[in-house]
Structure 1
Amino acid sequence: MDKDVEAMCRKMTNDRIKRLIEGLHGVDTEYNSELKTQNQNKEKMASYSEALSGKNNNTEQNNDNDVTTNDTNDNHPNSTSASASNSSNFVKPIFLKDSDVHGSVKPERSMWITNVEIYKAVGEKVPAECIKGIQRIREMWRIYMDNEEDKLSLLVQGINLRGRQVALHSQNPHNPSNLLQPDTIRIKVKNVPLSADDGQIHRALTLQGCNIQAFSRERLRIDGKVTNCETGDRLVISKLLEKSIPRNLQIGKYLARIFHSGQPEFQGRPNLVSYEGVKKCHKCR
């Protein structure tokens, strides 16, 4: 026997040696399971003082956990119903551009419109408590109402701001899909992966005679709200086309589908043979 092993065996008590031998025979696992069961029973057992007072730490802890779980369950349905009601009652905003008030000249910072001014101006036309939100993003204001009736009233009346009557927009004026003019056309590009570079699409459409004015990626809208999830479709605003774009267009290594107004419907294959001069067989007569 190795000297180190022999020295260790001498230090071991009889119980440890017995346990080691039992472990070598596969009995150690059963011993450990019994030991764990005993320890768990000891933890669940109340002390003498706890038995007299009728309290148990484990019982109190379990009760606290039950109360916490019940509170969480009680609050969760309310939050779910609240979020569901908010999504179902969502009213799209109306828009106000800074240029509608200041004109084409960009004012100094001290002359910028404030949300307090807009709140008071809107409150003169509809009840102020119906205003749900006022937000400015890139020189354009979004005004959120809590109902469609007051929203429609504002669109009809407009608001008085800094001594002038200002009309409001029902749609985002900066949205490419809303930039259509009499001399522009909207084009939708499909079947091109999101990972593909938009530059390929831009070049392919330019080679087809497009004078592109705006380019954007379509995003998914859920319950009236725009998400950050892209659908894969590209939206293009172009000047009017001299000739229509083919429905199927090769863009890089992808065969894209192109849709725009005035595009001819699908026609049959061009090289079809006419069978007018062919005589019918005797069975078809």
Structure 2
Amino acid sequence: MDKDVEAMCRKMTNDRIKRLIEGLHGVDTEYNSELKTQNQNKEKMASYSEALSGKNNNTEQNNDNDVTTNDTNDNHPNSTSASASNSSNFVKPIFLKDSDVHGSVKPERSMWITNVEIYKAVGEKVPAECIKGIQRIREMWRIYMDNEEDKLSLLVQGINLRGRQVALHSQNPHNPSNLLQPDTIRIKVKNVPLSADDGQIHRALTLQGCNIQAFSRERLRIDGKVTNCETGDRLVISKLLEKSIPRNLQIGKYLARIFHSGQPEFQGRPNLVSYEGVKKCHKCLKPGHVMYNCPNDWVCRICNISGHKMIDCPTEHTDS
């Protein structure tokens, strides 16, 4: 032993010597593990003939191990693959009302719609394996898809159920949150027959730049109550538009009339009642109060007659 090393060893305590020996053993272990890894890598290398044939026994064994590992991860509740499969949970459902099929008359229990019927009807429009769930809650069906593309396709096409074409709803029709939001606009579509497919209206408005949030058919209101009788007008809630939609729009073979705030025809209308410095009601057009406290009926800004809104004015909507 070198004299200098021997002198250092004599000065070291027993604890230090033990730690030194343990450290040397650790280096040996790491060195041996590196050699083992290198040997394993050499074993994984394919020969020239194996490379040409695309086969490698060691690689195939490793692939089998990978498959086993993936199966284990799939069964694990916190695995990454399970999290990925749950990404479709963010696709919001589409809605179907029982009354869309049965009308206002409540059918007998034997005539109720079943989830099997809906599953088959949806499967005729989109791949059935894309259906995640079908649930009925209080006369309202929720249909869950695993991707936005098939969901949009269903909203455009609707489904054939019990011999009739049924439109689906992008939002819950009974939910108050469907009311206009600050970043949305209401659009009314007229002069398209009731028998016409809503899908072609949806497509035509989308091509005009509409980001449609809700689509419904207007129903006749009598004595303040909504009936099951449709007026033929379609009501659309869309995100704010970058440019206005033309008043006359070709939808299929029909020349539809489109009405929404911001159109040049509406912007050019003079304000029929103007009082500087005094609050004016936008409902009855009279000063001294605001719309939320208005006891009067609507007054049209076009014909100045009470009983309807400007957007529903029969004078304006009559084709020349």
Q: TM-score, length-normalised on structure 2?
A: 0.34
Q: How many Å apart are 1:10 and its aligned residue? A: 59
Change (3 A) 1:170 1:45: closer
Looking at CA atoms only, which structure, 1 or 2, has the larger radius of gyration? Answer: 1
Moved more, 111-120 or 261-270: 261-270
Partner secondary structure for residue 234 of structure 1? strand
For residues 169 and 283 of structure 2, the distance between their equivalents in structure 1, rounded to whole angstroms, comes to: 69
Partner residue in 2 for 1:207: 207
For residues 282 and 126 of structure 2, the distance between their equivalents in structure 1, rounded to whole angstroms, comes to: 82
Change (3 A) 1:279 1:133: closer
* Structure 1 contact 92–224 (Cα < 8 Å) conserved: no
Partner secondary structure for residue 273 of structure 2? coil
Partner secondary structure for residue 25 of structure 1? helix
* Structure 1 contact 183–239 (Cα < 8 Å) conserved: yes
Q: How many Å apart are 1:91 and its aligned residue? A: 1.1
Moved more, 110-119 or 182-191: 182-191
Partner residue in 1 for 2:189: 189
Moved more, 18-27 or 207-216: 18-27
For residues 241 and 48 of structure 1, the distance between their equivalents in structure 2, rounded to whole angstroms, comes to: 64
Change (3 A) 1:82 1:253: same
* Structure 2 contact 103–228 (Cα < 8 Å) conserved: no
Q: Deviations over 1:46-80 (max 9, x none)?
A: 99999999999999999999999999999647535
Partner residue in 1 for 2:167: 167
* Structure 1 contact 117–161 (Cα < 8 Å) conserved: yes
* Structure 1 contact 190–232 (Cα < 8 Å) conserved: yes
For residues 177 and 283 of structure 2, the distance between their equivalents in structure 1, rounded to whole angstroms, comes to: 58
Q: How many Å apart are 1:90 and its aligned residue? A: 2.6
For residues 211 and 78 of structure 2, the distance between their equivalents in structure 1, rounded to whole angstroms, comes to: 52
Q: How many Å apart are 1:178 and its aligned residue? A: 1.2
For residues 18 and 134 of structure 1, the distance between their equivalents in structure 2, rounded to whole angstroms, comes to: 69
Change (3 A) 1:37 1:8: farther
Q: How many Å apart are 1:173 and its aligned residue? A: 1.1
* Structure 1 contact 96–169 (Cα < 8 Å) conserved: yes
Change (3 A) 1:17 1:64: same
* Structure 2: runs of 5 or more not aligned: 285-320
* Structure 2 contact 211–238 (Cα < 8 Å) conserved: yes
Q: How many Å apart are 1:83 and its aligned residue? A: 2.9
For residues 283 and 229 of structure 2, the distance between their equivalents in structure 1, rounded to whole angstroms, comes to: 60
After the TM superposition, which parts of structure 1 deviate over 4 Å for at least 4 consecutive aligned residues?
A: 1-78, 179-284
Moved more, 223-232 or 2-11: 2-11
Partner secondary structure for residue 192 of structure 1? coil
For residues 169 and 133 of structure 1, the distance between their equivalents in structure 2, rounded to whole angstroms, comes to: 16
For residues 80 and 225 of structure 1, the distance between their equivalents in structure 2, rounded to whole angstroms, comes to: 52
Q: How many Å apart are 1:174 and its aligned residue? A: 1.6
For residues 206 and 31 of structure 2, the distance between their equivalents in structure 1, rounded to whole angstroms, comes to: 79
For residues 129 and 175 of structure 2, the distance between their equivalents in structure 1, rounded to whole angstroms, comes to: 29
Q: Deviations over 1:102-158 (max 9, x none)?
A: 111111111100000001111111111111111111100011111111111110000
Moved more, 207-216 or 247-256: 247-256
Moved more, 74-83 or 193-202: 193-202
Change (3 A) 1:242 1:193: same
For residues 268 and 124 of structure 1, the distance between their equivalents in structure 2, rounded to whole angstroms, comes to: 48
Partner residue in 1 for 2:56: 56
Q: How many Å apart are 1:87 and its aligned residue? A: 3.6
Moved more, 218-227 or 116-125: 218-227
Higher relative contact order (CA 8 A, sep 6+): 1
For residues 84 and 54 of structure 1, the distance between their equivalents in structure 2, rounded to whole angstroms, comes to: 31
Percent of matched pairs sharing the same residue: 100
Give the aligned CA root-mean-square deviation in angstroms.
Answer: 19.0
Moved more, 170-179 or 239-248: 239-248
For residues 75 and 11 of structure 1, the distance between their equivalents in structure 2, rounded to whole angstroms, comes to: 58
Change (3 A) 1:64 1:14: farther
Q: How many Å apart are 1:86 and its aligned residue? A: 0.7
Partner secondary structure for residue 87 of structure 1? helix
* Structure 1 contact 188–260 (Cα < 8 Å) conserved: yes
Number of aligned positions between the proteins = 284
Q: How many Å apart are 1:175 and its aligned residue? A: 1.3
Moved more, 109-118 or 52-61: 52-61
For residues 281 and 156 of structure 2, the distance between their equivalents in structure 1, rounded to whole angstroms, comes to: 72
Q: Deviations over 1:191-212 (max 9, x none)?
A: 9999999999999999999999
Change (3 A) 1:279 1:263: closer
Change (3 A) 1:74 1:44: same
* Structure 2 contact 121–159 (Cα < 8 Å) conserved: yes
Q: What does 1:2-151 correspond to in 2, within 5 Å?
A: 76=76, 79-87=79-87, 90-151=90-151
